[in-house]
Protein backbone atom coordinates (compact mmCIF):
# COMPACT_ATOMS: atom_id res chain seq x y z
CA UNK A 1 0.00 0.00 0.00
CA UNK A 2 1.38 3.39 -0.94
CA UNK A 3 1.84 5.99 1.79
CA UNK A 4 -0.88 8.17 0.25
CA UNK A 5 -3.28 5.44 -0.81
CA UNK A 6 -6.34 7.44 0.24
CA UNK A 7 -5.24 10.84 -1.04
CA UNK A 8 -8.20 13.11 -1.76
CA UNK A 9 -10.76 10.71 -0.30
CA UNK A 10 -13.34 11.69 2.30
CA UNK A 11 -14.15 9.55 5.32
CA UNK A 12 -16.48 9.38 8.30
CA UNK A 13 -15.31 7.32 11.27
CA UNK A 14 -17.88 6.66 13.98
CA UNK A 15 -16.62 6.12 17.49
CA UNK A 16 -13.63 8.15 16.35
CA UNK A 17 -12.97 9.77 19.71
CA UNK A 18 -11.04 6.88 21.24
CA UNK A 19 -9.56 3.43 20.76
CA UNK A 20 -9.74 1.79 17.35
CA UNK A 21 -11.75 4.68 15.92
CA UNK A 22 -9.14 7.26 16.91
CA UNK A 23 -6.38 5.09 15.44
CA UNK A 24 -8.32 4.72 12.19
CA UNK A 25 -8.79 8.49 12.00
CA UNK A 26 -5.04 9.00 12.38
CA UNK A 27 -4.23 6.33 9.81
CA UNK A 28 -6.66 7.53 7.15
CA UNK A 29 -5.54 11.14 7.59
CA UNK A 30 -1.89 10.10 7.31
CA UNK A 31 -2.76 8.26 4.10
CA UNK A 32 -4.22 11.43 2.57
CA UNK A 33 -7.92 11.33 3.45
CA UNK A 34 -9.99 14.04 5.09
CA UNK A 35 -11.73 12.59 8.11
CA UNK A 36 -14.86 13.43 10.06
CA UNK A 37 -14.11 12.27 13.59
CA UNK A 38 -17.62 11.35 14.70
CA UNK A 39 -18.35 10.44 18.31
CA UNK A 40 -21.13 10.86 20.83
CA UNK A 41 -18.44 12.47 23.05
CA UNK A 42 -17.77 15.71 21.19
CA UNK A 43 -14.83 16.68 23.42
CA UNK A 44 -13.10 13.38 22.60
CA UNK A 45 -13.81 13.91 18.88
CA UNK A 46 -12.28 17.39 19.05
CA UNK A 47 -9.22 16.01 20.84
CA UNK A 48 -8.57 13.50 18.04
CA UNK A 49 -9.43 15.93 15.23
CA UNK A 50 -6.99 18.49 16.62
CA UNK A 51 -4.13 16.05 15.94
CA UNK A 52 -5.06 15.71 12.26
CA UNK A 53 -4.51 19.32 11.21
CA UNK A 54 -6.68 20.45 8.32
CA UNK A 55 -7.55 16.82 7.51
CA UNK A 56 -9.73 16.36 10.60
CA UNK A 57 -13.14 17.70 11.61
CA UNK A 58 -14.98 16.81 14.81
CA UNK A 59 -18.70 16.08 14.86
CA UNK A 60 -20.96 14.84 17.62
CA UNK A 61 -22.81 11.80 16.31
CA UNK A 62 -25.25 9.41 17.95
CA UNK A 63 -25.15 6.29 15.78
CA UNK A 64 -28.44 5.08 17.26
CA UNK A 65 -30.15 8.06 15.60
CA UNK A 66 -30.62 7.23 11.92
CA UNK A 67 -31.44 10.83 11.00
CA UNK A 68 -28.25 12.07 12.65
CA UNK A 69 -26.14 9.54 10.73
CA UNK A 70 -27.85 10.52 7.48
CA UNK A 71 -27.20 14.18 8.23
CA UNK A 72 -23.50 13.48 8.78
CA UNK A 73 -23.26 11.80 5.38
CA UNK A 74 -25.21 14.60 3.72
CA UNK A 75 -22.87 17.20 5.22
CA UNK A 76 -19.79 15.52 3.76
CA UNK A 77 -21.44 15.26 0.36
CA UNK A 78 -22.53 18.90 0.49
CA UNK A 79 -18.95 19.97 1.21
CA UNK A 80 -16.96 17.57 -0.95
CA UNK A 81 -19.41 16.19 -3.50
CA UNK A 82 -18.93 12.57 -2.42
CA UNK A 83 -18.19 10.20 0.47
CA UNK A 84 -15.50 7.60 -0.14
CA UNK A 85 -15.19 5.83 3.21
CA UNK A 86 -17.89 5.06 5.75
CA UNK A 87 -16.30 3.47 8.80
CA UNK A 88 -18.95 2.09 11.15
CA UNK A 89 -16.81 1.58 14.20
CA UNK A 90 -18.76 2.73 17.29
CA UNK A 91 -19.48 -0.10 19.70
CA UNK A 92 -20.01 -1.14 23.31
CA UNK A 93 -19.77 -4.38 25.26
CA UNK A 94 -21.22 -6.12 28.29
CA UNK A 95 -19.25 -8.74 30.21
CA UNK A 96 -21.55 -10.74 32.46
CA UNK A 97 -23.34 -14.01 33.02
CA UNK A 98 -26.04 -13.93 30.39
CA UNK A 99 -28.82 -14.47 32.93
CA UNK A 100 -27.78 -11.25 34.65
CA UNK A 101 -28.23 -9.04 31.58
CA UNK A 102 -31.28 -6.81 31.67
CA UNK A 103 -33.59 -6.21 28.74
CA UNK A 104 -32.32 -2.63 28.73
CA UNK A 105 -28.75 -3.87 28.30
CA UNK A 106 -29.75 -6.15 25.43
CA UNK A 107 -31.56 -3.25 23.77
CA UNK A 108 -28.63 -0.89 24.24
CA UNK A 109 -26.03 -3.18 22.70
CA UNK A 110 -28.34 -3.96 19.78
CA UNK A 111 -28.96 -0.25 19.25
CA UNK A 112 -25.28 0.69 19.19
CA UNK A 113 -23.57 -2.37 17.71
CA UNK A 114 -26.16 -3.45 15.15
CA UNK A 115 -28.43 -0.50 14.44
CA UNK A 116 -25.46 1.85 14.60
CA UNK A 117 -23.88 -0.09 11.74
CA UNK A 118 -27.07 -0.48 9.72
CA UNK A 119 -27.72 3.25 10.05
CA UNK A 120 -24.29 3.89 8.56
CA UNK A 121 -24.95 1.47 5.72
CA UNK A 122 -28.41 2.88 5.05
CA UNK A 123 -27.01 6.41 4.85
CA UNK A 124 -23.84 5.74 2.86
CA UNK A 125 -24.45 2.71 0.65
CA UNK A 126 -27.15 4.16 -1.64
CA UNK A 127 -24.91 7.17 -2.21
CA UNK A 128 -21.95 4.93 -3.06
CA UNK A 129 -24.12 2.96 -5.48
CA UNK A 130 -25.04 6.20 -7.23
CA UNK A 131 -21.47 7.45 -7.37
CA UNK A 132 -20.25 3.99 -8.50
CA UNK A 133 -17.60 3.74 -5.83
CA UNK A 134 -16.71 3.88 -2.18
CA UNK A 135 -15.87 1.60 0.71
CA UNK A 136 -17.83 0.58 3.78
CA UNK A 137 -15.73 -0.61 6.72
CA UNK A 138 -17.53 -2.25 9.64
CA UNK A 139 -15.71 -2.93 12.89
CA UNK A 140 -16.67 -6.39 14.14
CA UNK A 141 -14.42 -8.59 16.29
CA UNK A 142 -13.03 -12.09 16.61
CA UNK A 143 -16.19 -12.36 18.71
CA UNK A 144 -18.04 -12.05 15.41
CA UNK A 145 -16.28 -15.14 14.06
CA UNK A 146 -16.01 -17.32 17.16
CA UNK A 147 -18.64 -17.91 19.89
CA UNK A 148 -17.86 -17.07 23.51
CA UNK A 149 -20.01 -17.14 26.63
CA UNK A 150 -20.00 -14.31 29.19
CA UNK A 151 -19.82 -11.86 26.29
CA UNK A 152 -22.87 -13.41 24.67
CA UNK A 153 -24.62 -10.19 23.73
CA UNK A 154 -21.42 -8.71 22.29
CA UNK A 155 -20.70 -11.81 20.19
CA UNK A 156 -24.29 -11.85 18.96
CA UNK A 157 -24.00 -8.29 17.68
CA UNK A 158 -20.59 -8.82 16.12
CA UNK A 159 -21.76 -11.98 14.34
CA UNK A 160 -24.51 -9.79 12.89
CA UNK A 161 -21.95 -7.23 11.71
CA UNK A 162 -19.89 -9.93 9.98
CA UNK A 163 -23.01 -11.40 8.37
CA UNK A 164 -24.13 -8.00 7.14
CA UNK A 165 -20.69 -7.18 5.77
CA UNK A 166 -20.15 -10.43 3.87
CA UNK A 167 -23.69 -10.45 2.51
CA UNK A 168 -23.58 -6.83 1.38
CA UNK A 169 -20.16 -7.38 -0.16
CA UNK A 170 -21.54 -9.91 -2.66
CA UNK A 171 -24.03 -7.30 -3.83
CA UNK A 172 -21.88 -4.18 -3.55
CA UNK A 173 -19.14 -5.50 -5.82
CA UNK A 174 -21.50 -5.07 -8.78
CA UNK A 175 -21.63 -1.33 -8.06
CA UNK A 176 -17.90 -0.85 -7.55
CA UNK A 177 -18.32 -0.59 -3.78
CA UNK A 178 -16.05 -2.44 -1.36
CA UNK A 179 -17.14 -3.83 2.01
CA UNK A 180 -14.70 -4.96 4.70
CA UNK A 181 -15.33 -6.32 8.19
CA UNK A 182 -12.61 -5.76 10.79
CA UNK A 183 -12.20 -8.68 13.20
CA UNK A 184 -9.44 -8.08 15.74
CA UNK A 185 -8.61 -9.95 18.91
CA UNK A 186 -8.09 -7.94 22.09
CA UNK A 187 -7.04 -4.36 21.31
CA UNK A 188 -5.70 -1.90 23.88
CA UNK A 189 -8.79 0.29 24.10
CA UNK A 190 -11.21 1.35 26.85
CA UNK A 191 -13.55 -1.49 25.87
CA UNK A 192 -11.23 -3.99 27.59
CA UNK A 193 -12.22 -2.51 30.94
CA UNK A 194 -15.81 -1.45 30.29
CA UNK A 195 -19.26 -2.98 30.63
CA UNK A 196 -18.22 -5.38 33.41
CA UNK A 197 -20.48 -6.74 36.13
CA UNK A 198 -20.80 -9.70 38.46
CA UNK A 199 -17.06 -10.20 38.88
CA UNK A 200 -16.30 -10.34 35.15
CA UNK A 201 -12.72 -9.24 34.39
CA UNK A 202 -12.69 -8.16 30.76
CA UNK A 203 -8.96 -7.67 30.40
CA UNK A 204 -8.21 -11.11 31.82
CA UNK A 205 -10.97 -12.70 29.76
CA UNK A 206 -9.99 -11.22 26.41
CA UNK A 207 -6.24 -11.69 26.78
CA UNK A 208 -6.31 -15.16 28.30
CA UNK A 209 -9.04 -16.40 25.99
CA UNK A 210 -7.10 -15.35 22.93
CA UNK A 211 -3.70 -16.48 24.20
CA UNK A 212 -2.27 -12.97 24.24
CA UNK A 213 0.22 -11.60 26.74
CA UNK A 214 -0.70 -8.05 25.81
CA UNK A 215 -3.40 -6.39 23.79
CA UNK A 216 -2.87 -5.33 20.18
CA UNK A 217 -1.80 -1.72 19.69
CA UNK A 218 -4.71 0.14 18.00
CA UNK A 219 -2.35 1.93 15.61
CA UNK A 220 -0.95 -1.43 14.47
CA UNK A 221 -4.51 -2.61 13.86
CA UNK A 222 -5.34 0.59 11.96
CA UNK A 223 -2.41 0.02 9.61
CA UNK A 224 -3.62 -3.53 8.97
CA UNK A 225 -7.12 -2.21 8.29
CA UNK A 226 -5.87 0.33 5.76
CA UNK A 227 -3.93 -2.38 3.94
CA UNK A 228 -6.99 -4.61 3.92
CA UNK A 229 -9.30 -1.86 2.69
CA UNK A 230 -6.84 -0.84 -0.03
CA UNK A 231 -6.75 -4.49 -1.17
CA UNK A 232 -10.56 -4.81 -0.86
CA UNK A 233 -10.29 -7.72 1.58
CA UNK A 234 -13.52 -9.16 2.95
CA UNK A 235 -12.15 -9.71 6.47
CA UNK A 236 -9.26 -8.09 8.28
CA UNK A 237 -8.26 -10.49 11.08
CA UNK A 238 -5.49 -9.37 13.43
CA UNK A 239 -3.04 -10.20 14.87
CA UNK A 240 -1.78 -12.99 12.61
CA UNK A 241 -2.22 -15.70 15.25
CA UNK A 242 -5.95 -14.96 15.28
CA UNK A 243 -6.13 -16.21 11.70
CA UNK A 244 -4.99 -19.59 13.04
CA UNK A 245 -7.71 -19.51 15.68
CA UNK A 246 -10.30 -18.72 13.02
CA UNK A 247 -9.01 -21.53 10.79
CA UNK A 248 -9.21 -24.05 13.64
CA UNK A 249 -12.77 -22.99 14.37
CA UNK A 250 -13.75 -23.59 10.76
CA UNK A 251 -11.84 -26.83 10.22
CA UNK A 252 -12.58 -28.59 13.52
CA UNK A 253 -15.56 -26.75 15.02
CA UNK A 254 -16.26 -29.44 17.61
CA UNK A 255 -12.78 -29.09 19.09
CA UNK A 256 -13.10 -25.30 19.09
CA UNK A 257 -16.46 -25.47 20.86
CA UNK A 258 -15.11 -27.79 23.56
CA UNK A 259 -12.11 -25.54 24.13
CA UNK A 260 -14.35 -22.49 24.37
CA UNK A 261 -16.72 -24.19 26.83
CA UNK A 262 -13.77 -25.23 29.01
CA UNK A 263 -12.37 -21.70 29.01
CA UNK A 264 -15.73 -20.09 29.79
CA UNK A 265 -16.23 -22.54 32.66
CA UNK A 266 -12.87 -21.51 34.12
CA UNK A 267 -13.81 -17.86 33.85
CA UNK A 268 -17.16 -18.50 35.54
CA UNK A 269 -15.38 -20.16 38.45
CA UNK A 270 -13.07 -17.15 38.77
CA UNK A 271 -16.12 -14.89 39.03
CA UNK A 272 -17.39 -16.65 42.18
Residues recognised as catalytic:
154
Whole-number Cα distances in Å, 251 to 246, 248, 254: 9, 5, 9
Q: How far apart are the first and last CA of the chain?
A: 49
Amino acid sequence: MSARAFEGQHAIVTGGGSGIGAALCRAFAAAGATVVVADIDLAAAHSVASTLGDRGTARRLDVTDAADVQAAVDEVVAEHGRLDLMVNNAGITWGSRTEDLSVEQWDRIIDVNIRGVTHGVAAAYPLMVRQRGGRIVNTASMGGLMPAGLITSYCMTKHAVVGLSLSLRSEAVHHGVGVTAVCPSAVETPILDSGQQGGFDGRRYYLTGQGMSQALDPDDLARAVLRGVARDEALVIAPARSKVTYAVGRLVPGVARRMTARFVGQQMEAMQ
